[in-house]
Structure formats: structure tokens, C-alpha cells
Structure 1
Amino acid sequence: MFYLNEVVKQKWTPYDYAASTFWWITGSFAIPLNCILIYLIMFKSPKSLQLYSIFLINTTLGDLVFSISCTLAQIRIIPNKWAFAYISLGPAGWIGGSQGGYWAYCVMLHSLFYMFLCFPISFGFRYWILIRPAPEQKSCIIMCFCLWLVAFAQHICFIFSESPPEEITAYLKQNKPFYKLDHFFISGNHMINSPLTSVTLATIVLPMFPIYCLVIFFYKKVHNYLLHNRTTMSEGTEKGHRKLIQVLTIQASVPIFFVFPPITLYGLYHLEFIDVTVAEYLVYTLFSVIPLIQPIITMYYIKPYNHGFRRIFCRWMIRPIPTKSLTTVYGERETHYSSTRYD
């Protein structure tokens, strides 16, 4: 069950140490931050956020699962002509060996793909509530569940596309004999022997580009609507929408820095246009930053969660401030009880 004897025999490179350290750092922050955000969403969401909180908790759960699985798997991915070799540097390999590393990697890809699918939801929802009545909670839950079913289908396909570890190890030694990977936990997929591999990997990489186009589409729609209707809004509503635009801009920029660069770099490396070993580590080290950034953005910009976080962890900052009434970005009136000096 445990493979610690194999771990002590592994000869790690500086890249291995650097990547593993980075994964431990991002995981150590991302996991508790997402747990805190889930608590805040469940217990600190005001009435005006009850509907949107469905999408928030859906996204946050996906980020949490990805962060946990990424920290456990710590995958170095080596493209090897028609095969992909996955080397698990994390606890999943220590406990379950090659099979444990692969299963953790399957969960990681599943949550990553679902994360991609959920990118446009918040943008589409914000545009919807500007031009139409808010949807019912049941409809929002069904939408999230249907998206998850798509990701789950990809997850099942990837599980059954696994090639025998011995086959991947032999293929790797044949094509990359200069790699010293004895005692490492190696798993993988062979695109010729397992045709499902090409399908599952394509479903992860290729949809990201049209998905981001959809994000930009909704972003522009929301921005243009607010720009042309600002004169008809109250001061409180306009202020809320300005904050909304800031959040949308930051969220829309996340894939630019942490999704497209690793995908592009890895694609160039796989096609042998470049030959840099660091590309084998960068894909998931950069992806691991996303579930760290997302809860920070949410807790910083959404006031109830910002206040809830400060009440729990920064009580020394609290100072009573008179209450005020404002119009939320969802078109509702609510009384806002401020309790921090930063309002």
C-alpha cells in the first residue's frame, strides 16, 4: 500500500524539488482558502446573493477538488511521441504507487475540465440578470449538474484509457533513454493503443479557446450594457456595477496568464518545436495557481464574504460604521451593515 521505500531511492532533480515545493505552497494556501470561502458562501450570503451563491459554491468546490488532487498527485507530464508519461511526485504516488498517482491525476483532470466549463457561467449569469428576470434556483442547479455530467463523462473515459505502467515505462526508456526515472511512479496513456486518450485530452484542451471567446462575449455584453444604461441607474447601483466590471476584468484575465501559456508551451514542447525540460512541470504548476487566485478575488470584491473573513481572522480591524442602504447589482434593495474601517 505504501511505497516509501521506493521514494527514498528516487533521484530528484532541481526541477523536481522546485515544482514539488511550488505545489505544496499553492496547495497549502488554496485548500484552506477555498474551504473558508465555502463556509462564507453557505453561512454569510445575504438574500441578494442566494441565487448567485449556487454558481459560486459550484465553482469553489471545483477549485477545492482540483487543488487537493493537484497537491496529492504533483504530476510531471512527459510527452513521448505517441504516449504520455505521468510521473507522480506527491503523496498519491507515495501511498498508491503508479496507480495511485494516475487516479489522482484523473480526478485532477476531471476538476480542471469542469473548472474550464464553468468559466463562462458567472459572466453569462451577470448578463442574464441585467436583461431578464433572475432564473429559478432549480434551473441554476440543473445547469451546474448538466455541466458536471459532461466533465464526469470525460473522467470515466480517461480512467479507462490508461495504459499499463510497464508499457509506458518501457516506451519511455526506449525513446528517452537519458531520463533517469528508476523507482519513480510512472503511469500514462498511449494514443495508438488507447484511442480514448486522444478524445479525452482533446476535450480538455480544445474547448478552452471557444470557452474563452464566450467569456469575452459576455464580458463585452455586460460592459456595453452598463455603459449605455448608467444614466438610468441610482448611485448605489452604478457603484455596484463599477465594482462588477472590476471583478469581470480580473476574472477574464486569469486564463490569459495561467491557462493559455502552459497549454501553448506544452503544445510546442510536444510537437518538438522547443526542447525545454521545464515545460514538463510548468503546465500544472501554473494551473495550480488558479484555485488560489479565485477565492482571493471573490473574498476581496464581494462585500459579505470580505466582511465575514475579516470578522473571523482580522477582528482587530473591526470598527462599527453607521448602516447604509444600497441597491445591489441584482436590482434589489438591502440594508448593508458595515463593520470594518475599510468601507
Structure 2
Amino acid sequence: MSRFLITGGAGYVGSHTVLALRERGEEVVVLDDLRQGHREAVPPGVELVVADLSDRKQVKEVFASHKFDGVLHFAALSLVGESMREPMRYMAENLSNTLWLAEAAVKAGCMRFVLSSTAALFGFPKYIPIDENAEIAPVSAYGESKLMAETGLKWAERVHGLRTASLRYFNAAGADPQGRLGEDHNPETHLIPLAINAALGLGPELTVFGTDYDTPDGTCIRDYVHVTDLADAHLRVLDVLNERPSVRYNVGNGNGYSVREVIETVQRVSGRKVPYREGARRPGDPAVLVASNQRLREETGWQPRHESLEDIIRTAWAWRAAHPQGFSSPAAKSEAA
């Protein structure tokens, strides 16, 4: 049995990865400040350390009290719009917290480090699907902050031999098929949960930002990867780092779906109407963003188990319908007990 430190393990992708590690028989310690994470998302029997990554003393204490076989780093500021209002905060916090965490890992002899990165590194891509050879040109402070973190980890590899993996993905979606975990952000900015909330009457009507793009139905096309498939990718690259030095992978479903297709699928799965209105384009929104997963498949054997949009939305709908207040719902609290 190995032991892993998961930062941001009470958050959306992090908690699903914790669950995947536990199901594999591994021991896990979660470090989360709970600004966006939820105590109820941490599975029973998993140690939760409530701490801020900027508190270097607490981070050192976590490494001093446990021997870890690897770190999976999910904790980060991650809202693109907010990053354009507070760019210095995003770049300072996302970079410094990653580097301090990597430094603590190296000093403790923990030499595997997986960064949950972002395909926002690629900005406006020149071709689709976006592979690992695409030009790196972020157009947001969030994307730039993740690029800086990746660069810092390259130096940790070069100088200290830290083996690092960066997983670059766009839109995590869906929920644990067994209904144990789901997506609960405040504020919520992701299309699928916003459409589901609108259908349930839990939020305002959905806004479709732009209907005149050069796509089959005029709305933006995006790549959605099921959160449990994304968790599986993180576990697979951990194993790769046993055999190889640092790696970078793009993670995607391989298929793109438009905003209208998402709305129609939510309506079909739920049997409810999604109230929405058409609005103007948002500045900086590319027409199509789809990530390639070819290298990840070839080098790790990864394959998405939930490829269809309907399957992805069905799991998201099931969890949200059963937990209308998210992790504040009585059902979520009883499951965590």
C-alpha cells in the first residue's frame, strides 16, 4: 500500500481522485483549506488536514508526520474571468503554492508530483484537436499562472530530480456513477451544472453566449471529459512516473459538443425544459476547443469509460437531483457520516 498527499482533495476533481485511489487500496491524506472544497466530499477513513498551502510551516508538518509516495496537486485558483480581474493574485498564489509544495516534497524525499494543469495554456489553438505539440500561448492570467507552475516544476526536475506530470484538460464534467460525489461550486461557472440547475429551478435561466460562431449550430463547441475518467488519468500518470521522468499529457474525451447539444441532452436526460436566453459572445471565447488524448492513450493505456455526452450528463443529473443543495443537502451529510 502506498500513501499519497492530495491537495484540493475536498474539491471536485480532487475528491473523485481520492475515491479512485482508495478503491485501488491506497492510503490518502487530503490537504484542503475548504474555500471551495467540502468536508462531506472527503470519503470516510481519509485524513483531512485543513490548511492553506501558503502556510509553509503547516505544509512542512504534514510531510514530517507522513511518508508520502507521491503528491497530486489540485488546489488552485481556477476562474478565468476572476483571473482577468485579479491577475497578480492568480499568478502569485498558483505559482508560489505549487513551488513551495514541490520544495517540501523534495526535502521529504517524495519524488513523484502530479500537477492538475489546464488546456487554457493553448489560448486560441491553430488546429483541432489540440495535441501536446500545439503552441503554448495562454490568453488569461489563469492559464499563464498554470504555465508558470509547469515551468517551475521543470526546474525542480532538472535540479532535484523530481518526477513531474502535468495533465492539461478543459472541462471536467459528470459525477461518480454510484452517486457518492458530484459537482458543487460556488459560484458555479460550468455549463453542464448551470444547465442542470436551470432545469431544476435551482438557479437562473441559462445564458447562451454567442449563437453566430462558425460551428454547425452557431454555438461554441467544447470537450467534456468525465470526472472519473479524469481521476483515472491522474492515477495512470502516477504509475508512469515510476518508470519515466517528467511527462505532459492533454486529456480530453476526443469529441466536441456544442452549447445547444448540451442543453438538448440535459432536457432529454431530465425530461425537463432548460430555460435559457441567447446573449452576446463573451470576449476571448474560441469557437472550438477539443483536446487530443492520443498520447495519453498510447503511453498509459487510458481510455475514457464515459465517452457519450448523455452518459456524462446522466451521472451529473442523478447526483444534483438527489443533492439539490449540493454537499449541504441532508443526503450528502448522511453519506459522509
- The reply to whether TM is greater than 0.5 is no
Q: Which structure is higher in strand share?
A: 2
The alignment's TM-score, normalised by the length of structure 1, stands at: 0.28
The alignment's TM-score, normalised by the length of structure 2, stands at: 0.28
Give the structure with higher Rg (CA).
1
